[in-house]
Structure 1
Amino acid sequence: MKNTIKNIFVIFFSFFILSCSSQSKESFKTKEIYKSNSLIITQISENAFIHTSFKQTNDFGNVPCNGLVVKDKNETIVFDTPTNDKSSEELIQWINEKLHAKINAVIPTHFHDDSLGGLLAFHKQNIPSYSYAKTIELAKENNFVIPENSFTDSVILKVGDKEVTAKFFGEGHTRDNTVGYFPSENILFGGCLLKELEAGKGYLGDANVSAWSNTVEKVKKEYPNVRIVVPGHGEYGDGRLLDYTIALFKGQ
């Protein structure tokens, strides 16, 4: 009887410890940790931060545009630049002074200026840039600042002791849209390939709407354990953003 009670206690205690530790992982409180007129930085996990800058458009007004900063040790990698050099300089300064971290690389995920509009500011600080080969080709065609290093399918880069990946899965919002993944925290930066819940289709001037759903289905298959999904515009969420985007463009 004593052994039975002891075993029950051990099982209960183990369950209690496990539930507490899983709760602590899930209960990270998102917080806005920096705000100016041109840049907002929101911490969404222990080592990931959304940077939001703004782009004035004719059709959609003053649009908030998301990028992602991931960190390990005293190193960071940035997905997408803010929309212009001024906001990018602000972000670089914040990372250096508040995170006390080096920026190992910046990865624009497509050729529009809500992804690489502030690239020159990074290059001036000798921060290397990496993009899918088609992004470099389209940046050249449009006389934009050109990313320095190209990849044909995917690239894996180190940040501290961790890895991040950027990969092309197919056309959608543009012919060159890639996504970023931070495996240690299961965070996907979808950029403009992914939509926030209840969003419309957005700007389609460079899109391949017939391929879009299929491309996102490939992303979903590649990252089945995704926990946080960050779209190019709007609120971040979980895997439902993938399902929502797939449904939005299904049968187009």
Structure 2
Amino acid sequence: MGHPRTGTERRRKAPAENDGPFEGGGAGQRAAGLSTAGLDRLCRHVAHDLRNGLAVLRTNVDYLEGLAPRDEAERAALGDLREVADRMEHGIDHLVYLVRYLSGTLTPSLQPISMDTWLRALVRRLEEAPGPAAGRIRLEAPEPARIWADPALLERALRDLVLTRLAHTAAPGPVELRFHRPPGWAELTVIDSGPPLSPAARASFLDPRAPLGEGRLPAREVEQGLVGPFCGAVVAAHGGQTRLEVVDGRNRFTLRLPQPG
């Protein structure tokens, strides 16, 4: 009488005893590459799931705040959770818009914008909202000019760029916002108070096709996320140009949108 097979031997033989056809082509089949349209759809599905989770988080924060937190530490913790949810929402938006740009589906809806009143209203909304903007945005008196652009995309890009520079500039330094209308262009410039971004960051910060690689950039620059590439995608979708330079130790971000006539 032979020795009984060990559990290990039994497990080794099981695949041979159960050989048969598998659906999907087996381990040797590589996944087909996603088309750009497929990548866009996949990103939207993922964003939908993430936003559902954020909605649950915000609902619970609202509920707990309604119970009147017992002390300042609890109020601060709930405020931190709400801020994290907002930052995650912005990050999801940036990712979705970037993928739409890369897949060729980000098409601006051009409308006339009166820049002097539009910029003043934008700065007022930023300074009235909770956050770091109060009293720190210096708007150079914009010339009364009308431009053609997608107002929703342009506001999102400009708002997020200004807020990011406020968060990463030398506190409590201001951020300047300027508008000029050279022939054929609408030019928006954001100038922070430093410190200067590294040459590697300047080369890729506003490029929607150049992800910020952790191996190449200092941690404080990696942490700035997708705001720069998102702004670059918005400008590129308009057919425009971007430039990032350091002048007198300050980072100068220029967004140029082409204009008819």
Fold shared per TM-score above 0.5: no
Q: Which has the higher strand share?
A: 1
Q: In terms of Rg, which structure is larger?
A: 2
| TM-score, with structure 1 as normaliser | 0.26
Structure scoring higher RCO (CA < 8 A, sep ≥ 6) equals 2
| TM-score, with structure 2 as normaliser | 0.26
